[in-house]
Structure 1
Amino acid sequence: MLKPIHHYLIAVLSLGFCAAGLLHAEEPAPAIGPPVCPPLLEQPSLPATPAPPAAPSPGYDGCLLERTKLTGDWCGARTSMLEHGMVWDLDTTNFYFGVANGGREQRDTFAGHGDYVMNWDVSKAGGPEGLFVKLRAEHRYGQSISSSTGSFLPATVLTSLPAPDYEDLYITNLIFTQALSENFAVFAGKIDTLSGDANAFAHARGKDQFSNLGFVVNPLMLRAVPYSTLAAGFSVLHELQPIFTFTVMNPVESSRTTGFGELFEKGVTLTAEARLPYELNGLVGHQVFGGVWSSRNYVALGQDPRVVLPNVPIERQSGTWALYWNADQYLSMYDDAPTKGWGLFARAGVADNQANPLAGFVSAGIGGDSPIRSRRQDTFGVGYYYLQTSDKIGVFAERALGPIGDGHGVEMFYNYAVTPWMHLTGDAQVLHPEVKNVNTAFVLGLRCKIDF
């Protein structure tokens, strides 16, 4: 029985009226806050690496229906700051999701996430050549649907970040990158790790492509890699793209702190990742090979905001590790839009099952830009994942949850560009929980992202 279905109809109508009101507004609301600079090239493994600043975006100006940002050029301030190397990307993403059948309970919830990112090429403001700064502040609000599905992987991972029980604004990324040449860069600072394990069709932080964690990042690495923490490392670049990144990081979650108070007190985490581009019949693809290792002692499952697990004690374990792989391969590029197309993606990984509750993972699917010629700005995706739980740690989780086994799920979405700055996504998920006394959950949802 689709108990909350009338709420979805209300949500659709409400968002439609909201969009209509925005489209017919005489003036956009002014943005309050700092400016925006050409984005630094994001590394496939954790922090960001440098890239030349993008040209000033013509999308800042224009009428409300055509500009790329709702608040426009800020009376010329945005373009002026861009000329000095600074770019601000500000957005909010709202989720109205519900469990229509199965799961722990049938209900619908509203939650959202604000993401405020500044990238600065300091040399454009007269600073040292090759110095880049990235700042991210973020917050969440509302109530996530993820705890109602019964699945260990959250259906909407972004609604739990940066800290699931708090709605305050936190700085989760303040990273300084210095390019020493066109082929080598070093970085240090506070990083958020959701930008790692990059994939062309299954990534994007859970707000532009898939919403479920299983299609955003490989979950096996999360035991060793906190969401936000202090770190340093280096990247090897090829044509200004990172092809190898090595990172040393504090193994303690530091979203709500500076991280200096507990720096390396509980050990260290090391990560290494290679992302290798190639072409197959003239179509671009990537292969990612990575590994993580931590020396931290683990005495409980903990409450990582990116995984839905009870905080129960386990037998003390020293250290953990995980190996992972992912790939993306374009199968078609559009003649009328040469930079757009669609293709295949896949992920796989294995992990230590003594300290990590998640022992194995595979996922695969298709995604990309809409094949409809008049809707090239839309995106779509369909994916399947399988998650193997640890038989060593499962016995501890069973004390709180009941019988535990492997889980799997399917997600499909279509992201519709209402305007260049507003995207409305319909999402459906079928999740077979790891908790065996919970029925398969059928999840429906709407996601609305607005770029300011």
Structure 2
Amino acid sequence: MNKNLKRRPLAACGLAALLGLAAAPHARADVDSSPYLFGDWNGARTRLADKGITFDFGYGFEAAHNFTGGTRHLTRYTDQWKFGSTLDLEKLWGWNGASFQIMITDRNGRNLGADANIGNNQLIQEVYGRGQTWHLTVFALDQKFFDGKLLWRLGRLPVGSDTDAFTCDFQNLTFCGSQPGNLVGDYWVNWPTSQWATVLKLNTTDQTYVQLAAYQVNPKYIDDSWARKNGWKLNNPGGTKGWLIPLEFGWKPSAGGLPGDYKFGVWYNTAQGEDLYYDINHDPRALTGLPALKRDSRYGAYVSFQQQVSGDAGGKGTSVFFNATQADRNTSASDRQIAMGFEYKGPFDRMRDFVGFAVGATHANTRLADYQRQYNTLNPATPGLVKDGYEYVSELFYNWSPIPSINLRPNLQYILHPGGTSQNSNAFVLGLKTSVAF
């Protein structure tokens, strides 16, 4: 039997046991107020934090079933464990302004989109991907200078944790995390995979900043076969192709006392990329059969806006967001993505609950579609699918938090033209996203 099929009921039983533990009378007082399911460890957690040692242990799973779309109607389950710690080196060793962070993750499970042949570009279960195995997700030193105005990070880092950082409340990848990684994930590598990197962030005012970073571009980090053996190791494999260099400007205003977060960024990848349409002689490669033209670099730009528009700052009320990314059309199979939505916290006066709705579109590059049409004309016996439009996604969820450490988030997803083509059937999906903080 597939080991992932064994883990699914085990994980479900484990979650039920945790809920039962949380409901036990002797545990109620602690779990009702603590952000951690296992509470303060009889005060040990607070004592360690006072000394400079904090922990981040958690578990999350995402289940999904497609009622329409694809060639089969299936239910699939995937999950992630995380084990992390942050060391305040100033408290521990007197190292002024320094801290160290480590995070290790483990992913398991199956991908509904692939197993049901839905044809979608953006994952229905965002926590799937990058190899269902152990990863060294963060291994980094932080150093502050000039009373915190300048922050330097150095180590193993996922791109989206620092650059174009965005929440991941939704289950569909269209609305989760750093958006450029949804388009150019072969070199913009988000959680849980990391690569060697350095980040410099200068807070120009209390509300504005500018940030410059450099991330190693090495295809081995995202190769599943390599990751299964080496993903958790602190190493530097051979095969580095170049560096991803993003520049970001940020503004965090307060509009009527309500917080906002606005980002604009551009990136440049020094590694080569293959042209989607031209061959080495700048002729249509579908017609000549010659190798693809090598582009010297790859690039793109993004904007990300989040703003609370009603209620109490950081509390009950409505927040809206808008994300848009454009990647270069020469080398990116999906060249742009737009997403927008809102979240409302505190429905029915349940202050930990919130509801979210979002719509988004991912565009399939027409240059790749032109190549595919030419290829199909010359090879009618083995035609490929032509993707020349938008994949449209919408998602509605309700987050129920029975205690502060547990979130249960049922959701509905609808995918129109999966993959950016009307040749794929539209998909209606029921999902469940759950997180537990230990």
Which of 326, 341, 348 is residue 350 of structure 1 equivalent to? 326
Which of 183, 186, 190 is residue 152 of structure 2 equivalent to? 186
Q: State yes or no: 1:439 paired with 2:425.
A: yes
Deviating more after overlay: 279-288 vs 398-407: 398-407
Secondary structure class of the residue paired with 1:431: strand
8 Å contact from structure 1 (residues 425, 448) kept in 2: yes
Q: Could you say which structure has the higher helix fraction?
A: 2
Equivalent runs, 1:177-256 vs 2, <5 Å: 177-181=142-146, 182-196=148-162, 203-204=166-167, 206=168, 209-216=169-176, 217-218=178-179, 219-220=182-183, 222-227=185-190, 228-237=194-203, 243-253=209-219, 254=221, 256=231
- Show structure 1 runs of 5+ residues with no match: 1-9, 29-60, 302-312
Per the alignment, residue 385 of structure 2 pairs with: 402
Shift in Å, 1:338:
5.9
Q: Quickly say closer, same or farther: Cα 1:445–1:300, change in 2 above 3 A.
A: farther
Alpha-carbon displacement from aligned partner over 1:115-165 (angstroms, at most 9, x marks no partner): 2221221101123110111111001111122323321111111122xx33x
Shift in Å, 1:104:
4.4
Q: For residue 267 of structure 1, what is the amino acid of its counterpart? A: G
Shift in Å, 1:239:
7.0
Q: For residue 403 of structure 1, what is the amino acid of its counterpart? A: V
Per the alignment, residue 360 of structure 1 pairs with: 336
Per the alignment, residue 39 of structure 1 pairs with: none
Secondary structure class of the residue paired with 2:386: coil
Q: For residue 178 of structure 1, what is the amino acid of its counterpart? A: Q
Per the alignment, residue 326 of structure 1 pairs with: 304
RMSD: 3.0
Secondary structure class of the residue paired with 2:49: helix
Q: Quickly say closer, same or farther: Cα 1:396–1:194, change in 2 above 3 A.
A: farther
Secondary structure class of the residue paired with 2:347: coil
Shift in Å, 1:451:
0.8
Larger Rg: 2
Per the alignment, residue 7 of structure 1 pairs with: none
Q: For residue 79 of structure 1, what is the amino acid of its counterpart? A: T
8 Å contact from structure 1 (residues 402, 436) kept in 2: no
Per the alignment, residue 23 of structure 1 pairs with: 22
Alpha-carbon displacement from aligned partner over 1:269-309 (angstroms, at most 9, x marks no partner): 101112211133332222210111102123499xxxxxxxx
Per the alignment, residue 376 of structure 1 pairs with: 351
8 Å contact from structure 1 (residues 224, 292) kept in 2: no
Secondary structure class of the residue paired with 2:251: strand
**Cα distance between partner residues in 1 of 2:205 and 2:42:** 35
8 Å contact from structure 2 (residues 268, 297) kept in 1: yes
8 Å contact from structure 2 (residues 199, 212) kept in 1: yes
Q: Quickly say closer, same or farther: Cα 1:261–1:240, change in 2 above 3 A.
A: farther
Q: Quickly say closer, same or farther: Cα 1:378–1:283, change in 2 above 3 A.
A: same
Q: Quickly say closer, same or farther: Cα 1:157–1:300, change in 2 above 3 A.
A: farther
Secondary structure class of the residue paired with 2:270: strand
**Cα distance between partner residues in 2 of 1:136 and 1:15:** 22
Per the alignment, residue 171 of structure 1 pairs with: 136
Secondary structure class of the residue paired with 1:156: coil
Alpha-carbon displacement from aligned partner over 1:387-423 (angstroms, at most 9, x marks no partner): 1121223456787851212211101111110211111
Which of 57, 63, 66 is residue 30 of structure 2 equivalent to? 63
**Cα distance between partner residues in 2 of 1:259 and 1:394:** 39
**Cα distance between partner residues in 2 of 1:16 and 1:270:** 41
Per the alignment, residue 78 of structure 1 pairs with: 45
**Cα distance between partner residues in 2 of 1:121 and 1:401:** 54
Per the alignment, residue 53 of structure 1 pairs with: none
Shift in Å, 1:23:
3.3
**Cα distance between partner residues in 1 of 2:334 and 2:206:** 35
8 Å contact from structure 1 (residues 229, 259) kept in 2: no
Deviating more after overlay: 437-446 vs 213-222: 213-222
8 Å contact from structure 1 (residues 314, 396) kept in 2: no
Per the alignment, residue 31 of structure 1 pairs with: none
Q: State yes or no: 1:150 paired with 2:123.
A: no
Secondary structure class of the residue paired with 1:63: helix
**Cα distance between partner residues in 1 of 2:346 and 2:315:** 12
Percent of paired sites with the same residue: 19
**Cα distance between partner residues in 1 of 2:184 and 2:437:** 30
**Cα distance between partner residues in 1 of 2:39 and 2:323:** 38
Which TM-score applies when normalising by structure 2? 0.80
Which TM-score applies when normalising by structure 1? 0.77
Shift in Å, 1:198:
5.1
Q: State yes or no: 1:87 paired with 2:57.
A: no
Q: State yes or no: 1:128 paired with 2:95.
A: yes
Per the alignment, residue 83 of structure 2 pairs with: 116
**Cα distance between partner residues in 2 of 1:397 and 1:124:** 59
- Show structure 2 runs of 5+ residues with no match: 1-8, 222-226, 277-290, 376-382
Shift in Å, 1:222:
3.3
**Cα distance between partner residues in 1 of 2:344 and 2:155:** 33
Shift in Å, 1:328:
1.1
**Cα distance between partner residues in 2 of 1:92 and 1:16:** 9
**Cα distance between partner residues in 2 of 1:211 and 1:300:** 32
8 Å contact from structure 2 (residues 78, 127) kept in 1: no
8 Å contact from structure 2 (residues 184, 332) kept in 1: no
8 Å contact from structure 2 (residues 35, 404) kept in 1: yes
Q: State yes or no: 1:413 paired with 2:397.
A: yes
Secondary structure class of the residue paired with 2:217: coil
Q: For residue 23 of structure 1, what is the amino acid of its counterpart? A: A
8 Å contact from structure 1 (residues 197, 288) kept in 2: no
**Cα distance between partner residues in 2 of 1:293 and 1:338:** 34
